[in-house]
């Protein structure tokens, strides 16, 4: 999971204004003017009009929203608990497959709508996971006394998650003057203060069945986020779904079966000073020469390797996002100013290792990847990026992809760079490594991340690392140095030590 956490910490979008959906709702006026009989008649007429139209028609959003608030309860805060699973977005074992599942033994979420605050507490397979907090426009994670400020992107998503809850959706749709259409069910659309479009589906019996939105993702672009709510129950004075499923990018990221829900549980949280004063770390690229014409480009959580040929250069890996790619490209232009970046070797499709690919497509660089990723990338390189337009959204370049199988060699008169498929690796079915036969350097990622110096090897060796070693032996690679794209430069002796070979 290292790659995912690191990705989150470096994936820095723009800051967003504090949402204003908590402006006073005009519910008092509604209560005074409401005439249940008239109201019902209006609803019947609206429903009939809706039924006559093939594509639905404009409806009165306010009355539908207010009737739904009445039905499920007007709460200032909610706390719900249960068990289920989370799924790690962008880390599927093969491109296009569902996100991998992690059991959640228990989960409690508290949402204070007045304070725009949330707290998520969970217990995973290995025990408690860091608690996630949001207060206004400050977000962080906490494990014991260890506080970790979240990136602006994570903060913005936690805010959006408030509006995706049934009660949060109703409050935000009323405050932001949602518009309605539909037949039997009503679809209410509004634009959240963070500029995200939010669409909620309200059933004929006034329950929030589904809330959809779109958030920016460096790989998928305007990524669909869909939360469905079912099995509404009375939890003592208000109604709440006993089942919720959220999908992102077409696959579940969260499933919860709720056993308990309460209201009137205000959150009294103070923002730690370290979070209040936190500034996003700058994107840095540090250069280390590994051999003549070979540079290790580090400085953050995810590295790249630059390789110089006679008339061009190749890069191994485009991690994270456009911000990282832009910084790496600037460094390449300093190191090899006259040579175009002709090839970008992508180790695998995991989003923290492919989030910068679109920047290179826009540069006209050819992407070298495993054949299992080709169809997926042909889609993602064309994906709409309206929420956060990147270079490729403007350039709309036709992607050039070299889809490889077991082996591919990039070479000219000056050098050869071998790209090998790491066969049978449990981390990812299409993962590649790069081998410099003359320099005896191997570049790889995620299948082996070096331990801290002098750390003792794990009791059970990592199966992905054992498999890497088997591949090195199978291919008879006489490895000297290993340049991992996470962590630090090591030698083959370090790898052997960690797996006890």
Q: Where are the beta strands (DSSP E) in 312-424?
A: 313-316, 341-345, 366-370, 400-404, 407-411, 416-421
Binding residues vs Zn ion (CB under 5 A): 3, 350, 446
Helix or strand run (H / E) with residue 257: strand 251-263
* Nearest distance, CB of residue 348 and Zn ion, angstroms: 6
* Nearest distance, CB of residue 86 and Zn ion, angstroms: 17
* Nearest distance, CB of residue 115 and Zn ion, angstroms: 37
* Nearest to Zn ion of 151, 354 (CB atom): 354
* Nearest distance, CB of residue 90 and Zn ion, angstroms: 9
Cα–Cα distance list, 26 to 23, 32, 66, 414 (Å)? 9, 11, 10, 73
Helix or strand run (H / E) with residue 426: none
* Nearest distance, CB of residue 362 and Zn ion, angstroms: 24
CA distance 313 to 301: 23
* Nearest to Zn ion of 100, 272 (CB atom): 100
Both tokens of 39, joined, read 């109201």
* Nearest to Zn ion of 331, 444 (CB atom): 444
Helix or strand run (H / E) with residue 29: helix 27-33
* Nearest to Zn ion of 90, 149 (CB atom): 90
> Coil, strand or helix: which one is 441?
strand
Neighbours of 410 (CB within 10 A): 20
> Coil, strand or helix: which one is 20?
coil
* Nearest to Zn ion of 167, 350 (CB atom): 350
Both tokens of 19, joined, read 């949402």
Give the ranges where 85-242 is alpha helix by DSSP (H).
152-164, 166-175
Which residue is nearest to Zn ion, using beta carbons? Answer: 350
Both tokens of 331, joined, read 């460094």
* Nearest to Zn ion of 3, 387 (CB atom): 3
* Nearest to Zn ion of 353, 415 (CB atom): 353
Both tokens of 201, joined, read 């589906």
* Nearest distance, CB of residue 128 and Zn ion, angstroms: 25
* Nearest distance, CB of residue 311 and Zn ion, angstroms: 32
For 475-486, b where at least 16 C-beta lie within 10 A, e where not — what string? bebebebbbbbb
Closest CA to 285 of 295, 297, 302, 293: 297
* Nearest distance, CB of residue 247 and Zn ion, angstroms: 21
* Nearest to Zn ion of 308, 444 (CB atom): 444
Q: What angle do CA 114, 79, 70 make, to 5 degrees?
A: 65
* Nearest distance, CB of residue 1 and Zn ion, angstroms: 10
Closest CA to 481 of 428, 432, 444: 444
* Nearest to Zn ion of 95, 150 (CB atom): 95
């Amino acid at each position: 999971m290292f790659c995912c956490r690191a990705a989150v910490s470096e994936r820095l979008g723009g800051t967003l204004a504090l949402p204003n959906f908590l402006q006073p709702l005009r519910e008092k006026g509604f209560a005074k003017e409401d005439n249940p009989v008239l109201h019902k008649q209006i609803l019947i007429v609206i429903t009939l009009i809706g039924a006559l139209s093939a594509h639905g028609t404009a409806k009165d959003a306010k009355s539908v929203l207010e009737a739904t608030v009445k039905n499920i309860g007007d709460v200032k805060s909610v706390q719900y608990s249960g068990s289920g699973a989370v799924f790690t977005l962008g880390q599927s074992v093969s491109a296009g497959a569902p996100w991998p599942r992690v059991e959640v033994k228990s989960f409690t979420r508290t949402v204070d709508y007045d304070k725009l605050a949330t707290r998520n507490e969970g217990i995973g397979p290995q025990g408690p996971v860091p608690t996630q907090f949001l207060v206004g426009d400050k977000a962080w994670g906490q494990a014991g006394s260890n506080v970790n400020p979240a990136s602006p992107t994570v903060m913005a998503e936690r805010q959006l998650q408030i509006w995706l809850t049934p009660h949060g959706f109703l409050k935000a749709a009323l405050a932001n003057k949602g518009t309605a259409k539909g037949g039997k069910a009503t679809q209410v659309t509004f634009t959240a203060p963070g500029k995200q479009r939010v669409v909620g589906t309200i059933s004929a019996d006034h329950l929030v069945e589904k809330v959809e939105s779109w958030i920016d993702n460096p790989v998928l672009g305007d990524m669909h986020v869909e939360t469905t709510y079912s099995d509404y129950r009375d939890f003592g004075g208000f109604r709440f779904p006993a089942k919720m499923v959220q999908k992102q990018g077409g696959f579940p990221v969260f499933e919860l079966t709720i056993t308990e829900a309460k209201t009137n549980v205000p959150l009294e949280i103070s923002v730690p000073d370290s979070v209040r004063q936190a500034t996003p770390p700058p994107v840095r690229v540090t250069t280390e020469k590994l051999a003549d014409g070979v540079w290790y480009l580090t400085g953050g959580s995810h590295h790249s390797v630059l390789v110089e040929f006679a008339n061009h250069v190749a890069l191994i890996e485009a991690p994270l996002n456009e911000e990282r790619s832009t910084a790496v490209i600037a460094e390449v232009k300093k190191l090899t100013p006259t040579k175009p970046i002709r090839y970008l070797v992508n180790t695998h499709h995991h989003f923290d290792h492919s989030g910068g690919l679109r920047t290179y497509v826009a540069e006209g660089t050819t992407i070298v990847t495993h054949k299992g990723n080709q169809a997926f990338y042909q889609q993602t390189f064309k994906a709409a990026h309206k929420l956060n337009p990147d270079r490729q959204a403007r350039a709309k370049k036709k992607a050039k992809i070299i889809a490889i199988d077991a082996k591919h060699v990039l070479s000219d008169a000056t050098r050869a760079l071998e790209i090998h498929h790491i066969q049978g690796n449990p981390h990812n079915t299409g993962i590649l490594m790069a081998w410099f036969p003359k320099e005896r350097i191997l570049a790889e990622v995620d299948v082996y991340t070096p331990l801290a110096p002098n750390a003792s090897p794990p009791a059970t060796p990592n199966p992905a690392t054992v498999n890497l070693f088997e591949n090195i032996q199978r291919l008879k690679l006489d490895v000297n140095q290993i340049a991992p794209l996470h962590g630090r430069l090591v030698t083959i002796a370090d790898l052997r030590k960690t797996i006890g070979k």
